[in-house]
Amino acid sequence: MKTNLITTTGFLVLLLATACTAQEYPTTGSILRLSPELDQIIAPGTLPEILAEGFEWSEGPLWLSEQEKVIFSDIPNNSIFEWSESEGLKLYLKPSGYTDTIPRGGETGSNGLLLDGEGNLVLCQHGDRRMARMSAPLDAPEASFETIAGAWKGMRFNSPNDAVFSSSGNLYVTDPAFGMELRYGDPRREMDFTGVFLVTPDGEVSLMLKHLNAPNGIGLSPDEKKMYVANSGGQPGPVWMEYDVTGDGSLQNERVFYDTSPAADSLRGGPDGLVVRNDGIIFATGPGGVWVLTPGGEHLGIIRTGQATSNCTLDAKNRYLYMTADMYLMRIRLR
């Protein structure tokens, strides 16, 4: 009887603790299942949850493991917000992407967010047109930045959009003109192309690609032998491109990984941010929501958010996929 009492008491304590910590969030959207394999990634009946709302255009989610929270950009409001299960939504950083005192229009804030090898926050800053490192601890951020890279051959970047680090410290950056005040027609543009750049750990900037009209989200395969680059539109169309990464970090053997053109006319959004899971599964925002793709290019399905969806990230244990979708921060439980 004593053993049963201890077991029962422990079980009741577990139930009470779960009841006190578990929170329910409104669900939205749907799941388009194109392959039974998706059931091993997202359990049938699972839907996206809305965690927070009221943003002008949310982007660039990043999971901070030690703080157990996700941070993300609200680009037009030049801000970064944070959300955690324990504390909900709070302002994390402002300004985030434009630090000049001269007012300007357009999408001035930070876009993609990532951590360097030392655990420092690195930001794609639209308004300041540079890649910058935050000079403050992650748990006590202040709007103080140092430039990692802001130009190539004396010409300023357009507006860095997304980036990824390799394990060697190489930083790959996409640079469309979405963050310029007049976008592609802005007379302050100093490059007549939108490129993908490589920034080495010692600060050397090299041009990798210059023929994509709208390079956007970017990611590496788990073995870092392949790179995926989203092109939001124009030439070569709304597609994800794939490249082989050579020993010196350059890109070769360009091919289309997946073409979303057939869906682009009927579904909202286009190829944007992406994240690659450690088993190679790619979660890529595109028409209709987040596309789930295998490393071989098989389309398993779409997490339909009901919104134009900009980007996504995973928590440290791959339990949740966090998604920025227009005015919302969402997440979906993964198996």
pTM reported for the whole predicted model: 0.92
Dist. CA 335–CA 121, nearest whole Å? 29
- Whether residue 223 is contained in a domain is answered as yes
H or E segment and range at residue 263? helix 261-264
The two three-digit tokens of residue 37, written as one number: 């394999």
Count of domains in the chain? 1
Cis before 48 (ω within 30)? no
Dist. CA 252–CA 258, nearest whole Å? 17
H or E segment and range at residue 6? helix 2-21
- Whether residue 77 is contained in a domain is answered as yes
- Whether residue 57 is contained in a domain is answered as yes
- Whether residue 96 is contained in a domain is answered as yes
- Half-sphere exposure of residue 251: CA atoms within 13 angstroms, side-chain side: 25
Dist. CA 218–CA 20, nearest whole Å? 39
CATH of the domain at 204: 2.120.10.30
- The predicted structure's pLDDT at residue 227: 98
Q: How confident is the model at residue 15 (pLDDT cuts 50, 70, 90)?
A: very low
Phi, psi (degrees; rounded to nearest 5) at 60:
55, 45
- Whether residue 249 is contained in a domain is answered as yes
Average pLDDT on 216-243 reads 96
- Whether residue 1 is contained in a domain is answered as no
Contact present, 287 and 260 (Cβ < 8 Å)? yes
**pLDDT for 260 beyond 60:** yes
- Whether residue 17 is contained in a domain is answered as no
Domain of residue 100, residue span: 24-333
Dist. CA 143–CA 132, nearest whole Å? 11
- The predicted structure's pLDDT at residue 7: 36
Q: How confident is the model at residue 168 (pLDDT cuts 50, 70, 90)?
A: very high
* Closest residue by Cα to residue 323 from 315, 90, 279, 20: 315
Q: Across the chain, what does the average pLDDT equal?
A: 93
- Whether residue 7 is contained in a domain is answered as no
- The predicted structure's pLDDT at residue 22: 57
Phi, psi (degrees; rounded to nearest 5) at 12:
-65, -40
Q: How confident is the model at residue 6 (pLDDT cuts 50, 70, 90)?
A: very low
Residues 6+ apart with CB under 8 A from 35: 298, 299, 300, 301
